[in-house]
Structure formats: structure tokens, C-alpha cells
Structure 1
């Protein structure tokens, strides 16, 4: 499947902003089963951009500096991506969770994709006993890694309510877990917390999910949104397997990976600082169109 992706973020300021410095993580990465064919970034009314090294995780980071006074800032990211990723199928020969945990602890890989980098709590996903105990019910040590992973993702999908008004971007996983309400970021963080508590390498994936219209309906342009899900390392042969707890499905051809990190803090699409005062309004439009 080939996709044309258009992601537009607009900031409107009540008073002119004299200076802005931002990190942009909007360009999809090349990932197993995924190839970026084209990418372009357009910023209005303009600014100075340079490549920046990601402090953690797998992401293309662009540093944006706006040095003139602006009342509005529009950041448009356009990409064309080919995704050829079959749905994973659990098999009798898959390693168990106990084997995965041992292999991850023994890894000497120091790259950004090393399983050892995703074994431990991170700033936005601390250890939580209640989450660990709840997830442990699906994470028996002898269970196959793919079978256990999809079972946990589907349990979260069944037992939690999607509610875009229930949480904020900085809501702790423990709060979303206690309320059983949240959005894709919350569900991914809860699942990652439980997997790491069981000694399993789990990463936070951010990107896009193609939205399919109802039968007979038309796809709504601009109605798509950024999405978050989980990557579970399933050994050297299987590698990183994607699991989407919001929908209870595997990461396959409908998912486009933009960035991978320990948590949202590593790979936020846009973050930074502005010099000014007054209110700020932000609007985001994302369109993922199959071509």
C-alpha cells in the first residue's frame, strides 16, 4: 500500500511572538516493511531549519528557529510512504516471554533499536504496581510472545473506553488506568508499563493509522489524526512486532511509523519554546490517503 500523507499544524498567537525554537519530528522513518519515497516540509511565514540529532529513540529531528515576530505559524509536512507489512501470525515455535526477557537482558546491542534500551521505566512511563499486576494476568512466562502481546492489546481494547476528553498529553498512565478512560497515547503507555514490569522490551511508536470509512461512506479529508501504539521485541528472528491496544489489532499495512522512542517525550511531533505573552491556539489536520 502506498500513502500520501499531509500533516498541517497551525499556531495562532493572541500577541505577536518574538522568537520560537522548536523540535519537529514529523518525517516518517524507514522501518521494516516501510519505505519513505518522498518528504517535504513547508513553514510559513518562514524560519531557519537544521537537522538535529535525536537524544533518544528513532526519529528524524529538525530544529526550527523563528527569529522574526509572527502572529501565526503554519507547519506543513508532506510524505509519500510505501508500506508492505503482513499481519503477524503467532506460531508454535515463537519464543516464550521468559526467553525474550533473558535475551533482552543479555543483549550487547547499543543502537537506538536495541531491546535493552526499552526494558526499564522512562520519564513518562514509570513503574506502577497496579498496572503491572493487571497486565501480568496475560503475561505468563511460558506463553508465546506474539500470543501474549495480542492478548494484552485486545484486553485493553475491550476493557477501556476511548474518550478524547478524559486525559491530557501529560496525564500519567496510572490515572488513565484507574479511570479506564483515555486515548491511544494512554493505552499504549499502560501496555508498555505492564510489559516492562514483566521484564520485556517495549517501545512507544508514533505515526498514522489509515482510517477506513463505513460501508458506502466517503473518507473525510483531514479527519485522520496522529496515532500511538506499542512495539514489543520478540527475539532476534521476529524482531519488533507492533501491537495497537486502542483497536486490539496488529501493526500492519494500515500503520505508518513516524518515530519510535521510550515514551511520548522522546518523539513528540512538535515541542519547544516561544518568547511572547498572551494566549495560543493550535489546530492540527492530518490526512492519510491511499494512492
Structure 2
């Protein structure tokens, strides 16, 4: 019997059609979504014990309200608990002791999302020089929780290529909101979206060199650039509602998880932005969890005890607007 780690890989939605930087959509309004995220693991031999931890419950936030939520696990876990991690995310732990060759985790949520609050992009902190947004930049402006988002990762992600890229955009005295817009557009323009070109283990340095990747790569590049300047930036996981091409029906279950970034501002405000789609985060984005990097908020990971030598993972995500 062997102990095998399992993980729900990141599925990334194709980016929206090419667009200039957008602070909000053309017809912004509050939208209610039914979000369904189903992960099925299938093994070629029985699993005697399966431990799992998942971040699949959207957060209640200003501008986002969770109206319903449930996570169903089959086989039924022997032990299960819900809690809150150090970043305030809702997580679920489970232990399945029933022998099985297939494990299914289904998360369903009803979430109401508001458009981007223009007071965030137009507030004094956003319009002030970006240097003023350093959590440790000025006496009295420090924020202990924000400071952890300034620190580089281990192994380090802030290399020379990141520093040069950030230097070109975050020039002295530039308003923070302008710097974020320009960084978002630069990544959108300079990096090619190519599904399957990277994995969750790909380093930022590799993405900088290849100039290609998917949503989590672009979010991590933006975060590394901001941290290289002493700014606090966090990795955000969630979902993106996309519309089908004109004349085509929406394909149920064809969605995917998504990732973006957010930068801290004095007053404990966060400005979220999406480099994959060259825009600030708006009512198309459903926020699930945030942390320093992907490893803090993986949708689903765990350990199984089995003699199985192969397995398959099937992930289905659907973000259906109810309006």
C-alpha cells in the first residue's frame, strides 16, 4: 500500500477577446451566478484511505454575497470539518475510509456579484504615487497582514528579469492605479496565452523567459513585479464567467477556474486586476480564496493510500448567470 499525493490541477478559461484596458464592462450590473465545480478522481485499484483539503467555497465580501453553498463528497467521508485558514478563506477537510476506485467532490454555490466599485479606483490611495502604498513605506501606514504579501517566496521569484520589467512600468511618482493599469496591459500584450504550456510548478523566471503561460502565470508575474517594488500583492483564485461566441450556445461544464492578483492600498483597501483579460476585476469574477501564491489556495489536494498505479482526473466547472 503506497501513499500518493493527489491534486486538482488548475483549469484555465480562455481569455476574453482582445480588448483595450477596461475598468468595467459595457453594461455593468449586479449578477447572480450558479457555480458548480465537480472533480472526479478515478483509480485502477481500490483506495483504502483518502485525505483531502479543498478551497471551493466563495468568500462573502463587500461586492460579493454567497446566498447558498454546499460541498458533496462521494463516498461519504468518515470525518469532515469546515474552517477558516490564516487568510480568512473557508476550507473543507475530509477523510474517506470507504474503499473506492472513484472519488467525486462537487461544490455548488449561488453567488451575487456587484460591478467594480469606482470609489476603489478613484480613491486618494489609488491616485497617490505608488510608493505611498508600500505597507512599510511611511510611519503609521504599516499593516501587519499586508506585510506578509510583500515577502518573496521560497525559492525566490523576484529575479533580475522581474526587476527590469517592473522598473520599466513602475516609474517614480506614477499614480498607483495608473501603474497597475499599465502593468496589466503590459502583461496582456507581452505574454501569449497558451493552454497547457505551463503547470502549477512552473517558475516565474521560466514564464518571463518563454513569454507565454495561462492565468495563474500572469497573476504570479504581476505579483512578483509589485513585490519587487515593496508593494503588497496577493494571489486570488476564483471563477470567470464568459459568454459563448455569437451564434453558439453556452456549453454547460466547459468553464474553468481562474486566477488574478490584487494590490494593497493604505486604508486596508485592495485593488484587484486581471492581467489575462486586461481589466480590473468586476462582476464577471467570482472570488473564492486568496493567499501569497497558488500553493496557499489550491482548489483541491490531498493524499491517498492505494496500490493503484494510474489514475485520471476529470474537472467540470460551470458558471451560469441566472439573470
Verify the 8 A CA contact 2:75 2:98 in the aligned structure 1.
no
Q: How much does 1:57 deviate?
A: 2.4
Indicate which of 138, 142, 149 corresponds to 2:173.
142
Indicate which of 20, 35, 48 corresponds to 2:65.
35
Q: Secondary structure at the match of 2:234?
A: strand
RMSD: 1.8
Which ranges of structure 1 fall in alignment gaps of 5 or more residues? none
Partner residue, 1:69: 99
| Count of matched residue positions in the alignment of Structure 1 and Structure 2 | 286
Partner residue, 2:132: 99
Q: TM-score, normalised by structure 1?
A: 0.93
Q: Secondary structure at the match of 1:213?
A: coil
Distance 2:137 2:245 in 1: 42
Q: Secondary structure at the match of 2:180?
A: helix
Q: Where do residues 55-66 of structure 1 align in structure 2 (5 Å cutoff)? A: 56-66=86-96
Q: How much does 1:25 deviate?
A: 0.6
Distance 1:180 1:25 in 2: 29
Distance 1:130 1:71 in 2: 46
Q: Where do residues 252-271 of structure 1 align in structure 2 (5 Å cutoff)? A: 252-271=282-301
Change (3 A) 1:57 1:128: farther
Does residue 1:183 correspond to 2:210, yes or no?
Answer: no
Q: How much does 1:53 deviate?
A: 4.2
Distance 1:92 1:141 in 2: 20
Q: How much does 1:217 deviate?
A: 2.3
Q: Where do residues 200-219 of structure 1 align in structure 2 (5 Å cutoff)? A: 200-219=231-250
Indicate which of 45, 53, 57 corresponds to 1:23.
53
Which region of structure 1 is more displaced relative to structure 2, 126-135 or 20-29? 126-135
Distance 1:131 1:234 in 2: 22
**CA deviation map 1:178-219 (0-9, x unaligned):** 101111011111110010001111000000000112223221
Q: TM-score, normalised by structure 2?
A: 0.84
**CA deviation map 1:96-133 (0-9, x unaligned):** 111111566755544xxx32121111247632221121
Partner residue, 2:277: 247
